[in-house]
Chains A and B, each alone.
Chain A
Amino acid sequence: MTREYPDEPTGGFPTPPRTATDREGRTIDIARIAEGDRDTLVEMYLEFDPADRAQGIPPTSEESIRDWLESICTDDCLNVAAWHRDHLVGHATLVADGEGAYELAIFVLQAYQGSGIGTALLRTVLGVAREAGVERVWLTVERWNTPAVRLYEKVGFERVGGESFEVEMAIRLH
């Protein structure tokens, strides 16, 4: 698939570990996630409201969540998570697409949505990617999900295509 990317790179993203205060006044720690945290990730996805699934992910049963996490992170992926105390409340992941670019997805538990955690996670995972030398990142988002499209535009993604149910967006980091 040929995908277009903005000509100019976007920078200025923070890198983890960092601490942010969300709009509810909660202290949120953002850090890279280690392989050993897989079980914690599975627990977060088990808590995830199925109504907030997008394009079939995350899956709903524990087994399919484990399979999915396993399958997306076989060779090359970058993961950043957001914690409220010891509760994992958000996860951003970048997965190599086999064509030199990375696909991005981000999930935040319902009780923590709309409080700025998604933006902080997104900016941080892009900071990790930029530091790792990743040049191009893309994502798809359901066309009617205007809040998500706005969030991605705010951090520097541009719409690059998608005339159907999904909008394609991309950012250049280098």
Chain B
Amino acid sequence: MHVIVGVDCREQTMYTLSRAVDRARETGDDLTVAVYTTDDRAVEECVERVRDYLAERDFDASLTRIRADNPAPDLVELAERTSSDRLMITGGEQSPLGKIELDGVVEYVLLNAKTTVTLVR
């Protein structure tokens, strides 16, 4: 199976990446890490951080950069173009009251992806 995991280096997305690596280790899935952010410099910083993390885990994964004001359409397009089986993204944050708030990236991906989507909390 080919799995794409979206990472923008916020703590929650790094957790999603760790889950994706755990899972790929068990199943032997191919993993592509799609690094997204709206800022070019931040993309490179995040790519470095992901590289370091993968090296630390001694795990091989492809890395791809998504540079866009709105990364969601590119994530969906990448999943389609590479015939991925699954797209893993991070599922929102909690408000001070404990309400789960899903951001625009999550909504777009859930509504538009033709692949299975895993929302990691």
User: Interface of A with B (CB < 8 Å)?
Assistant: 54-57, 68, 71-72, 93, 95-98, 103-105, 140, 163-166
A32–B24 alpha-carbon span in the complex (Å): 52
Residues 82-99 of B at the A interface (beta carbon under 8 Å): 94-99
Q: A140 near B103 (CB under 8 angstroms)?
A: no
Q: A103 near B96 (CB under 8 angstroms)?
A: yes
Q: A105 near B99 (CB under 8 angstroms)?
A: yes
Contacts of B103 in A (CB 8 A): 164
A93–B101 alpha-carbon span in the complex (Å): 18
For chain B, the bracket of interface size reads: 10 to 19
Report the nearest B residue to A55, measured CB to CB.
B99
With contact pairs A164-B102, A165-B102, A166-B102 given, residues A57 and B97 touching in the complex (Cβ less than 8 Å):
yes
Contacts of B101 in A (CB 8 A): 55, 140, 166
User: Interface of B with A (CB < 8 Å)?
Assistant: 94-104, 106-107
Q: A140 near B95 (CB under 8 angstroms)?
A: yes
A97–B100 alpha-carbon span in the complex (Å): 15
Contacts of B97 in A (CB 8 A): 57, 72, 93, 95, 103-105
Give 13 CB contacts A-B under 8 Å: A55-B100, A56-B98, A57-B98, A72-B98, A93-B97, A95-B96, A103-B95, A105-B97, A140-B95, A140-B99, A164-B103, A164-B104, A166-B101
